[in-house]
């Protein structure tokens, strides 16, 4: 950036001004047929799922839930985990994040029968010809020293 770039404020010559960058992550089609991947884009004009950069092949689903401390004691312990758009979510009471990732093998026919799997509390039974292996990884991150 240059000082004459029409900034909203005058800065000293030794100041550092950086542009804001947005990165969007999503699950979208892989370059490998019939496979989904974790993708990202930094271009707000590019659809992540179809035009983003492929990061990790075999990612089938990612869910990020917010841990909300809902009790009157405000003990900094999440009493419920909900999605961002959930009615009644008080963002000032979010104390943790729970991230769950569902991975699926690239190759089919790795099991002799379709294997049911559970993701975010829901059990799924794949079609008989779906013999992929799946694995769920979940972690909870406590938010500390939040700026209020």
pLDDT in tens, 96-136: 999 999 999 999 999 999 999 999 999 999 999 999 999 99
Q: Are 58 and 37 in contact (CB under 8 A)?
A: yes
Whether 41 has a pLDDT exceeding 70, the answer reads yes
Kindly indicate the confidence band of residue 148, based on its pLDDT and cuts at 50, 70 and 90: low
Question: What average pLDDT does the segment 20-40 reach?
Answer: 93
Q: Residue 2 has what pLDDT? A: 54
Q: Residue 19 has what pLDDT? A: 82
Residues 6+ apart with CB under 8 A from 78: 67, 68, 69, 95, 96
Kindly indicate the confidence band of residue 53, based on its pLDDT and cuts at 50, 70 and 90: very high
Domain ranges of the chain: 18-57, 63-148
Mean pLDDT check: name the lowest of 8-22, 43-57, 64-78: 8-22
Q: Residue 4 has what pLDDT? A: 54
Q: Which of 140, 132, 135 is nearest to 102 (CA)?
A: 135
Q: What are phi and psi of 22, to 5 degrees?
A: -110, 130
Q: Are 66 and 100 in contact (CB under 8 A)?
A: no
From the CA atom positions of the chain, what is the Rg in Å? Answer: 21
Whether 137 has a pLDDT exceeding 90, the answer reads yes
Q: Residue 100 has what pLDDT? A: 98
Q: Are 39 and 53 in contact (CB under 8 A)?
A: yes
């Amino acid at each position: 950036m240059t000082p004459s770039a029409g900034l909203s404020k005058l800065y000293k010559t030794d100041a550092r001004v950086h542009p804001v960058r947005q990165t969007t992550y999503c699950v979208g089609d892989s370059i490998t047929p019939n496979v989904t991947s974790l993708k990202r884009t930094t271009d707000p004009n590019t659809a992540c799922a179809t035009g983003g950069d492929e990061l990790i092949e075999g990612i089938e689903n990612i869910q990020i839930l917010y841990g909300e401390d809902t009790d009157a004691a405000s003990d900094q312990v999440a009493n419920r985990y909900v999605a961002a758009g959930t009615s009644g979510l008080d963002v000032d009471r979010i104390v943790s994040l729970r991230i769950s990732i569902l991975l699926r093998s690239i190759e089919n026919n790795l099991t002799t029968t379709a294997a049911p799997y559970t993701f975010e509390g829901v059990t799924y039974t794949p079609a008989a010809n779906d013999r992929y292996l799946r694995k769920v990884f979940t972690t909870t991150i406590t938010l500390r020293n939040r700026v209020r």
